[in-house]
C-alpha cells in the first residue's frame, strides 16, 4: 500500500528491558501479565485505524504506522515509552529502573519496488539493539537521508 501510494511508512520495534530477569523474578504468569499491560499501553500510543500493533516475538513488539513521517514516528515512540512508564509496572530486577521500561528502534521509508521489507526491518532491529547498547529506556531512529538542501 505504501509503495502504491508513495506515502511514508514508519516502523517501530520495541523490546521490554531486562524481561528475562522480570520473568525469573515474577514468574511466567507475572511475565504474561506484564506483556498484556505493555500491549494495552501501546494500543493507546498508535490508535489510528490503519496503525498495526503486534507481538513480534518474546518480549518484542512491532508498530507499523502507514502514512507516518519520521517526525510523527519519533513522537509516537516517545509516547510509547512514556505510556509504559505511567503503567508503573514494578521491576525489582532491572538495573536501570524500579519500573518496566522499553527500548525502541524506528525508521521511516517510502518503499520503492527495489526496497526489500526484510532489509528495512533488519535496519530497524539494529537500531533497537543500539538503543539497548546506549543504556536502554530510549529510542534510536535512522538518520533521515540528506535532502537536496543538505547536499549543497
What are the tens digits of pLDDT across the range 85-127? 999 999 999 999 999 999 999 999 988 765 678 889 999 999 9
Q: Are 127 and 105 in contact (CB under 8 A)?
A: yes
Strand partners for 6:
none
| φ and ψ at residue 92, rounded to 5 degrees | -70, -15
DSSP 8-state class, residue 80: H
Q: Report helix, strand or coil for 142.
A: coil
Domain edges within the chain:
2-138
Catalytic residues: 59
- Structure confidence at residue 116 (pLDDT): 76
Residue 107 grid cell = 525508521
Contacts of residue 24, Cβ cutoff 8 Å, sequence gap at least 6: 93
Model confidence band, residue 150 (pLDDT cutoffs 50, 70, 90): very low
The domain over range 2-138 is classified in CATH as 3.40.220.10: no
Over residues 6-34, the mean pLDDT reads: 96
Which residue, among 53, 31, 51, has the nearest Cα to 40 in the 3D structure? 53
pTM for this prediction: 0.89
Amino acid at each position: 500500500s505504501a509503495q502504491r501510494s508513495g506515502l511514508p511508512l514508519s516502523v517501530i520495534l520495541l523490546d521490554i528491558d531486562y524481561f528475562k530477569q522480570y520473568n525469573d523474578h515474577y514468574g511466567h504468569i507475572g511475565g504474561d501479565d506484564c506483556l498484556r499491560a505493555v500491549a494495552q499501553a501501546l494500543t493507546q500510543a498508535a490508535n489510528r485505524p490503519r496503525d498495526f500493533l503486534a507481538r513480534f516475538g518474546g518480549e518484542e513488539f512491532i508498530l507499523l504506522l502507514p502514512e507516518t513521517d519520521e517526525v510523527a514516528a519519533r513522537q509516537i515512540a516517545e509516547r510509547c515509552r512514556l505510556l509504559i512508564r505511567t503503567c508503573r509496572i514494578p521491576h525489582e530486577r532491572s538495573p536501570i529502573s524500579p519500573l518496566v521500561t522499553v527500548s525502541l528502534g524506528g525508521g521511516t521509508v517510502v518503499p520503492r519496488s527495489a526496497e526489500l521489507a526484510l532489509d528495512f526491518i533488519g535496519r530497524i532491529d539494529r537500531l533497537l539493539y543500539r538503543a539497548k547498547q546506549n543504556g536502554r529506556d530510549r529510542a534510536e531512529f535512522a538518520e533521515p537521508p540528506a535532502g537536496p538542501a543538505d547536499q549543497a
